[in-house]
Structure 1
């Protein structure tokens, strides 16, 4: 089984377990991809950080694997961002300013690299 198909199979067959990324955002499997849930003020780099962290630490993907944003930018307030490993589900844009980005995807390593210099947010009870 190819690594991409295996990772997709894991997200479909594994129980819907939430993962807290290193920046504090919560990621959950959804359909054949995953969603980074909204949790207080967060920008595109925060959502991509969580997506890359999930792809590498939970799905055990190679950092060169492309992760695709499936929900078109701009997201509405309080809305999460959906991601997939399937290029056919890609949004037209990543929501980031990235030179050379192809459609709505960047590598898992690049996405996780957006976590650098970001601390977990101090969430209030209201955000939970």
Structure 2
């Protein structure tokens, strides 16, 4: 009898997972699209569609730096223009524009100029269990 009570829930979860594969933003975990645009200043503008989670911004620039630019995994990536509500873009640079903050952090943010991570650390956020990020270049 318990098996029959669980079947509708299992079917609903399976249906959500199938819908997620076809349509971004539907399913158990939302899907985000990340757009990285090189700027004439040498910085990179990152726009995340579907979220404003800091992990998605760092994932986008980390993945772009390693896979598109061929940046070494140990190279630092610096936040050069923080997140502003309403604008929803963040700028990063491969060169520090202010004295970088080298203190150990307990939270991930895109709020302070000078925040920085290695390219591999930034890219590692792409593998977060709750994010399904689709890169668009």
Alignment TM class, shorter chain as reference: 0.5 to 0.7
Give a deviation string over 1:49-105, Cα, whole Å, max 9, x none. Answer: 001000001110111000001113x42134200000111257769x9716xxxx411
TM-score (norm 1): 0.62
- 1:1-128 equivalences under 5 Å are 24-30=33-39, 31-72=41-82, 74-89=83-98, 97=107, 103-116=114-127, 117=129, 118-120=131-133
For this pair of structures, how many residues does the alignment match?
93
Structure 1: gaps (5+ residues): 1-22, 122-128
Taking a change above 3 Å as real, the CA distance of residues 90 and 36 of structure 1, as seen in their structure-2 partners, is farther
Give secondary structure in 2 for the equivalent of 1:88: coil
Conserved? CA contact 1:45–1:96, under 8 Å:
no
Q: Deviations over 1:1-57 (max 9, x none)?
A: xxxxxxxxxxxxxxxxxxxxxx63010101211110141223111000001000001
Gapped runs of 5+ residues in structure 2?
A: 1-31, 109-113
Over 3 Å counting, the alpha-carbon distance change for 1:65 and 1:106 in structure 2 is same
- What's the RMSD between the two structures over aligned residues? 2.6
The structure richer in strand per residue is 2
Is the Cα contact below 8 Å between 1:70 and 1:90 reproduced in 2?
no
